[in-house]
Each structure stands twice: as C-alpha cells, then as structure tokens.
C-alpha cells in the first residue's frame, strides 16, 4: 500500500468510525464563550466540552502522547497535547496544531428542525453551533498525527493546543502561553484549522486575517424616559446623537471608515493574489444570503476579496436601551447603547486604532450628552510570511492528492488572535491556516454546518504536511 493510500484509508476510517458520535455530542453542548456568558464556569458547559474532547484525544493510539488540561484561576482551560517526534523525525523542531472549542451565541433564524444545540446530519453536513467553528479541529489534528504514525512515516515533535476563549478574542491565551513557558520552543510550523474556504473543491490557505476593534458605545441624554410628545423637539433623541457620532467614524453612504488609523497600504502581492483568485472563482458575494434584489457594496470580484480582508468595516452587532417593538410606547428613551465591531486590516496597529476610535466618539459630545466608549474587544490582525519553497510544494502536492486540484490562497475576513501572538513569538515560523468554513456554512449565524467530506480532506492534508515538514 502506498503512503497516499495508507493516509487516505486511515483518515477515512477514523472519520467513519470514531468521530461522528462525539462531534455530534459536542455540538449539543451550549458552551458559549465567556464574552457572551459570564456564568460559563458556574454552568459547567465549557467543562463538559473540555472533558469530551480530552477523553476522546486521550484514547487515541499515538506513541508517546501526553495530554493535560492547563487550568489558571479565573480563566478558561487549555487542552495541551504533546507528541514526541516519531519515525526519526526531528525532535528539536516543533509543530503547533491549533483549534478552539468555545462557541458563539445561539443567534436567531434557524430553520425548522435545526437549532444551535440540536445537531442534525443531513447528507454530508452536520448542522449546529460549533462543529465547523471549531469543534472538529481537535479531532482532525489528532487523526492526522495518528495517520502519519499508522503509516510508519515521520513527524517532528507536535504540540496540540485547544483553547476555550477564542470567540472572546483569546483573552485567556496570553496567560496560558506564559504558563507553558518553554514547551513551545523550537516551533517552526503552525497548523491552524479555524479558517475558511471559498469552495469545497480544493485546499484553501489563508494568507491574512483581519483584526478587531470592538466595544460598547453608550449615549445618555436623560435620567429617565419622558413622554415623546412632551420632550421631542426640545430633548435630542439619544439615537440621533448616536447617528451623529457614527458619522464621525463611517461614511454612511459607502461604508468607508473615515479614521486614517484604520487604513493600511495593501501590499502588491496581496492585490495580485486577490486578482488571481477572483479570476478562477465565483464572486465572494455569491456566498452571501442576500434578500431578493439586494446587491453587494462593490460588484468587482477582486475588489470584494480586498474589501473582505484589507479594508476596515464597521458593523453594529448589538443594541441596548430599546424595548421590543410590540412594547414600544411613545417615550423618548433615556439612552442608546450599541455594540460596535470594526474589522481592521492586516498590519494595522490595533491599539492605536482603538485609541483613535474612543477619542473621536467621546470628544465634544453633541448637546453635552454623556458619551462613553469601552473598547473591550481588541485583537490584532495578521499577515502570513511568504511560504517556504518546501511548504508551497507540500500544500500543492497535498491538494492535488486529496482534492485533485491545485491549492489556492486568499485573505480571510475574520480574526484569530493566536496567529498574531505566535507570529510575534516565532517570527521565523511557517503558518498554514486553513479550514472548512465554506459557502453557506454560516459560522456565527443560523444554520451553521460542517461539511464532512471537506473536514476529512483537510485532515488528510495535515498528515501530508506533517510528513513533508519532517523530511525537509
């Protein structure tokens, strides 16, 4: 049996026999990330998810593997798995395999028969919150290592890290990395399974990630609500004041962010990458669930990819101070609070951007209103180093062997704070960021699904890269 056949057979056997049941159970656990559930420790859902993943990993037949759950007071746990070099692989070089198991909140709009904590397999898709983002990562990482060993091939020392605060901006991860001390020494390759793909037909590699400046904007104009007939025209609406403040940040007609601290010069190679990718794929907007007649901000396919990654964009993702529409009396509300989320491009200084945003929102408040902005969710963006020749060849060969097509690269619009942390710590390391979040998978939204065939193929790709890394 060839190495190719052996890897393929082992990966598919594990995905057929050992992964579906625990992954379905994982999806059913409402382990919402701490930013959205401050009672996470008391409720115990995160502990259930950690135990499930830990126990599955601990039962794998992987030579020399050790596994523990690192616990720090007041912080979410971190699963740490160490596997020594195998088959003559280099013991002085380390591969980090990364994923997370915390989840986004439920979100509304799930179709009949589906729900965030109601796992359903339809055809090749597992529906439910967190399967694709990012519950499958631990299962895939261990299966890839196991496949290499079962084939009698080589891999370097591996460290698998599965965190539980990624959806909260990886707020607990710096402390965990410090506590790990020298256990990550020698890292020269990072494999991350928390990204996406523009189709399910080939390997997609993420070359950049946007960062995030998020926070709570609160505008108070009254100490209590007042009859709108008595107050309107004399007391300014808190919502109108919010609109005026947002106009300082964003051009409402185009979505262009007006603060220069949020913009960067787009590298020429990333512009070329977007142009090349757009030439062989459907427009990125075609993956969005627009209502009938709606159109994207820009119709140019290459420009959509650049806007998706290399330009900042504001979203209002939550609001307080509003009664439900069916309980909304004719009252001038005392305050309006909005949760803002601004995605920032790679190479943007996230701390400088956050400072500029707070300043422009709070200085000289209209009508003397009480305005505060708490930038409580700030994460760096990331731009990948150029692939080493061995890695570029490995990814192309793996994509051809597993998918039957060449690999493609693109910039992702989401944020994975760990990549920036590792990039700073290991500036010479190579990064492979990939994942299964393709068209329609709708991470963070309703009807999220994991495309099971793609998860199998990505697992197999990891095993190829581990072998090539050990042999380079």
Looking at residue 154, what is its pLDDT? 98
Q: Is-contact 78 166, C-beta < 8 A?
A: no
Pick from 194, 232, 12, 147: nearest CA to 465: 147
- pLDDT tens digits, one per residue of 318-328: 999 999 999 99
Q: Is-contact 100 30, C-beta < 8 A?
A: no
**C-alpha 205, offset from chain centre:** 14
Looking at residue 137, what is its pLDDT? 98
Looking at residue 4, what is its pLDDT? 79
Looking at residue 56, what is its pLDDT? 98
Looking at residue 2, what is its pLDDT? 63
Looking at residue 123, what is its pLDDT? 95
Looking at residue 421, what is its pLDDT? 85
Pick from 353, 132, 131: nearest CA to 262: 353
Looking at residue 418, what is its pLDDT? 83
Looking at residue 401, what is its pLDDT? 96
- pLDDT tens digits, one per residue of 205-252: 999 999 999 999 999 999 999 999 999 999 999 999 999 999 999 999
Between helices 3-17 and 136-150, what is the axis angle to 10°?
140
| Residue corresponding to tokens 């994923």 | 99
Looking at residue 423, what is its pLDDT? 85
β-bridge partners, 433: 192, 206
Measure the CA–CA gap between 340 and 362, rounded to whole angstroms.
Answer: 14
Measure the CA–CA gap between 470 and 449, rounded to whole angstroms.
Answer: 33
Looking at residue 425, what is its pLDDT? 87
* Phi, psi torsion values for 173, nearest 5 degrees: -70, -40
First-to-last alpha carbon distance for the chain, in angstroms, is 23
Looking at residue 84, what is its pLDDT? 98
Residue 221 is encoded by which pair of tokens? 């104009």
Looking at residue 44, what is its pLDDT? 98
Measure the CA–CA gap between 401 and 4, rounded to whole angstroms.
Answer: 8
β-bridge partners, 332: 226
Question: Would you say the pTM of this structure is higher than 0.85?
Answer: yes
Looking at residue 80, what is its pLDDT? 98
Classify each residue of 318-337 as buried b or exposed e, where b means 16 or more C-beta atoms within 10 Å of its C-beta: eeebeeeeeeeeebbbbbbb
pLDDT along the chain (472 residues), means of 10: 82 98 98 97 98 98 98 97 98 97 96 97 97 97 98 98 95 95 95 95 95 97 97 97 98 97 96 93 93 97 96 97 96 97 96 98 98 94 94 97 95 89 89 95 96 98 98 92
Please name each of the domains of the chain with its CATH number. 3-209+381-471 (3.40.630.10), 211-283+300-379 (3.30.70.360)
A 10 A CB-CB count for 111 gives 9
């Amino acid at each position: 049996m060839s190495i190719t056949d052996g890897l393929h057979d082992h990966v598919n056997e594990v995905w057929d026999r050992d992964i579906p049941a625990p992954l379905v159970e994982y999806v059913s656990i409402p382990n919402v990330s701490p930013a959205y559930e401050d009672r996470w420790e008391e409720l115990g859902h995160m502990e259930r998810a950690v135990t499930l993943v830990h126990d599955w990993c601990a039962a794998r037949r992987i030579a020399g593997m050790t596994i523990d759950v690192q616990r720090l007071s007041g912080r979410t746990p971190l699963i740490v798995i160490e596997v020594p070099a195998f088959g003559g692989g280099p013991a002085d070089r380390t591969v980090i395999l990364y994923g997370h198991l915390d989840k986004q909140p439920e979100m509304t709009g799930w179709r009949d028969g589906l729900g965030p904590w109601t796992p359903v397999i339809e055809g090749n898709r597992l529906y439910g919150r967190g399967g694709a983002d990012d519950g499958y990562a631990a299962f895939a990482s261990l299966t890839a290592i196991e496949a290499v060993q079962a084939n009698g091939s080589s891999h370097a020392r591996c460290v698998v890290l599965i965190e539980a605060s990624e959806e909260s901006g990886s707020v607990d991860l710096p402390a965990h990395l410090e506590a790990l001390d020298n256990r990550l020494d020698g890292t020269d390759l990072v494999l991350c399974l928390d990204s996406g793909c523009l189709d399910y037909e080939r390997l997609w590699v993420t070359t950049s990630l946007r960062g995030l400046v998020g926070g709570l904007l609160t505008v108070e104009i009254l100490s209590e609500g007042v009859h709108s007939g008595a107050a309107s025209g004399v007391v300014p609406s808190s919502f109108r004041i919010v609109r005026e403040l947002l106009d300082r940040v964003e051009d409402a007609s185009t979505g262009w962010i007006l603060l220069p601290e949020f913009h960067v010069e787009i590298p020429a190679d990333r512009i070329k990458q977007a142009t090349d990718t757009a030439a062989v794929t459907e427009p990125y907007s075609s993956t969005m669930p627009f209502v009938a007649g709606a159109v994207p901000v820009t119709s140019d396919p290459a420009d959509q990819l650049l806007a998706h990654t290399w330009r900042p964009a504001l979203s209002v993702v939550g609001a307080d101070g509003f009664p439900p529409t069916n309980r909304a009396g004719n009252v001038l509300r005392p305050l309006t609070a909005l949760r803002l989320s601004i995605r920032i491009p790679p190479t943007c200084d996230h701390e400088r951007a956050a400072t500029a945003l707070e300043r422009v929102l709070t200085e000289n408040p209209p009508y003397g209103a009480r305005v505060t902005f708490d930038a409580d969710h700030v994460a760096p963006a990331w731009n990948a180093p150029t692939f080493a020749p061995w890695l570029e060849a490995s990814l192309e060969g793996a994509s051809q062997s597993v998918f039957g097509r060449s690999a493609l690269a693109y910039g992702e619009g989401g944020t994975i704070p760990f990549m920036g942390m590792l990039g700073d710590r290991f500036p010479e390391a190579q990064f492979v960021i990939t994942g299964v979040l393709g068209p329609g998978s709708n991470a963070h939204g309703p009807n999220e699904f994991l495309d099971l065939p793609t998860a199998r193929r990505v697992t197999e790709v990891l095993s190829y890269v581990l072998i090539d890394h050990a042999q380079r």
